[in-house]
Structure 1
Amino acid sequence: MIAIKELSVLFQSAVKAGADKCFRDGRILKNQLSLSEAYAIYGRADVDRWITEKLIVTHTGGIGISRKSILRSELEAVAFKSNRTSYLPVAER
């Protein structure tokens, strides 16, 4: 028998995956996030730690563009595997 908490996590994951697919297919979500966008969603300390631990890789833009970005899929995968069950934007903490 599956525990209620496990079932809750499964449903949350399924809803998030479905919503993300709809947003990506509708081109509402970007494939890459800037560092500042990642910090706003997951917090500076966590994002910097994940970069330091080489769990996520930053990418630099094209010629003449120095802005660093992170692939949304990599960032979400690391965040999902983190020991926190959910993330609140920094403003809501």
Structure 2
Amino acid sequence: MSAMPVTEIDLLQSGLESLRRGDTSAAAFSGQARHLAALLDGLPPRFGEVLDQLLDRLEASALFTEESCSFSQSDLLDNLQLWIDKARAAPRA
């Protein structure tokens, strides 16, 4: 079992907090999250699939100026936080 790449999960958490405050864009956060290979390599494969789906939806939601019936950005951010929490607790490969 390898050690959790703490710096990457912490960077992702920091990026999400910055996105919530409006200090960064959804596209910038998504780009950051997609480049965390060491983090994803240490997690079960399903984590990568779920993260990709969440990031795709986040990027699509950024096209709308307000909450829409299809994309609730606040719900997506909550789901990203849940993903981070589960990634912290997941057994490492």
Instruction: Name the TM-score, length of structure 2 as normaliser.
Output: 0.31
Q: Which has the higher contact order (CA 8 A, sep 6+)?
A: 2
* TM-score where L is the length of structure 1: 0.31
Comparing both structures, which one devotes a greater share of its residues to strand? 1
**More helix, by proportion:** 2
Larger radius of gyration: 1
